[in-house]
Amino acid sequence: MKKKVGVLVSGRGSNLQALLDAAKDPAFPAEIALVISNIPDVFALERAAKAGVPTQVIPHKGFPSRETFDAAMDAALRDAGVDFVCLAGFMRLLTKSFVEGWQGRMINIHPSLLPSFKGLHTHERAIEAGVKLHGCSVHLVTPELDDGPLLVQAAVPVLATDTPDTLAARVLEQEHKAYPLALKLLAEGKVTVDGVRAVVDAPGGGALVNPQ
Which CATH number is 163's domain given? 3.40.50.170
> What is 143-191 written as a DSSP string?
SSTT-S-EEEEEEEEPPTT--HHHHHHHHHHHHHHHHHHHHHHHHTT-E
pLDDT of residue 211: 55
**pLDDT tens digits for range 2-14:** 999 999 999 999 9
Q: What percent of the chain has pLDDT over 90?
A: 94
The answer to whether residue 209 scores a pLDDT higher than 70 is no
**pLDDT tens digits for range 69-108:** 999 999 999 999 999 999 999 999 999 999 999 999 999 9
Q: Same structural domain for residues 172 and 75?
A: no
Catalytic residues: 110
The answer to whether residue 141 scores a pLDDT higher than 90 is yes
How far apart, in Å, do the first and last CA atoms of the chain sit?
Answer: 32
Q: Same structural domain for residues 64 and 152?
A: no
Domain termination residue (choose one: 102, 119, 137): 102
Our CA dihedral for 53, 76, 26, 22, rounded to 10 degrees, sits at: 70
Q: Same structural domain for residues 114 and 138?
A: yes
Q: Same structural domain for residues 24 and 117?
A: no
**Structure confidence at residue 28 as a pLDDT band (50, 70, 90):** very high
Domain termination residue (choose one: 102, 125, 151): 102
β-pair partners for 108: 87, 139
* Average pLDDT score over residue span 137-165: 96
The answer to whether residue 187 scores a pLDDT higher than 80 is yes
Q: Same structural domain for residues 114 and 93?
A: no
Q: Provide the CA 176 distance to its chain's centre, in angstroms.
A: 10
Separation between Cα atoms, residue 61 and residue 65, nearest integer Å: 9
Q: Provide the CA 202 distance to its chain's centre, in angstroms.
A: 19
* Average pLDDT score over residue span 164-174: 97
Number of compact structural domains in the chain: 2
Instruction: Report the 10 Å Cβ neighbour count for 129.
Output: 11
- The average confidence (pLDDT) of the chain is 96
Q: Same structural domain for residues 11 and 81?
A: yes
Domain termination residue (choose one: 102, 121, 147): 102
**Structure confidence at residue 203 as a pLDDT band (50, 70, 90):** confident
**Structure confidence at residue 49 as a pLDDT band (50, 70, 90):** very high
Q: Same structural domain for residues 98 and 152?
A: no
**Structure confidence at residue 41 as a pLDDT band (50, 70, 90):** very high
Q: Same structural domain for residues 137 and 53?
A: no
pLDDT of residue 208: 75
Q: Same structural domain for residues 90 and 119?
A: no
DSSP 8-state symbol, 140: E
Q: Same structural domain for residues 80 and 165?
A: no
Q: Same structural domain for residues 68 and 116?
A: no
Where in the sequence is the domain holding 173, given as residue range(s)? 110-212
The answer to whether residue 167 scores a pLDDT higher than 70 is yes
pLDDT of residue 210: 58
Q: Same structural domain for residues 211 and 118?
A: yes
